[in-house]
Amino acid sequence: MARSHLTLAALATSAVPGLEVSGARSYTLGGAGEFDSALLSGRDGGTSVIRVPTSQAAETEQSADLVALRALTTGIRSRLPFDVPTYLGQAPVGGTRAIVYDFLPGHHIDVDDIPPGDGLAGSIGHAIAAIHMLPTNFVGEAGLPVLSAAECHTSTTALIESAASTGLLPSALRDRWRDASADQSLWQFQPTVVNGALTADSFLVEDETVLAVLGWSALRVGDPARDLHWLLAMNPEATEGALGAYASTRQVATDRQFTQRAMLYAELEVARWLLHGREVRDQSIVDDAVQMLDGLVDRVHSNAVTPLSTATGPILAIDDVEAMLDRTPGDRSSDAYGHAGGMKPVEEDQSDRNSAAE
Average per-residue pLDDT in the chain? 83
Same fold flag, 5-102 and 111-353? no
Is residue 220 within 8 A of residue 289, CB to CB? The reply is no
**What global pTM score does this model have?**
0.82
Assign 334 a pLDDT band (cuts: 50, 70, 90): very low
In tens, the pLDDT along 250-287 reads 988 766 788 889 989 989 999 999 999 999 899 999 99
What value does the mean pLDDT take over residues 320-342? 45
CB atoms within 10 A of CB 17: 8
At residue 221, what is the residue type?
A: V
In tens, the pLDDT along 106-120 reads 999 888 889 988 899
Q: What string of DSSP letters covers 253-274?
A: ---HHHHHHHHHHHHHHHHHHH
For residue 307, give the 3-state DSSP assignment: strand
What value does the mean pLDDT take over residues 119-147? 96
CATH number of the structural domain 111-353: 3.90.1200.10
Rounded to whole angstroms, the Cα distance separating 176 from 153 reads 15
CATH number of the structural domain 5-102: 3.30.200.20
- The residue ranges of every structural domain in the chain are 5-102, 111-353
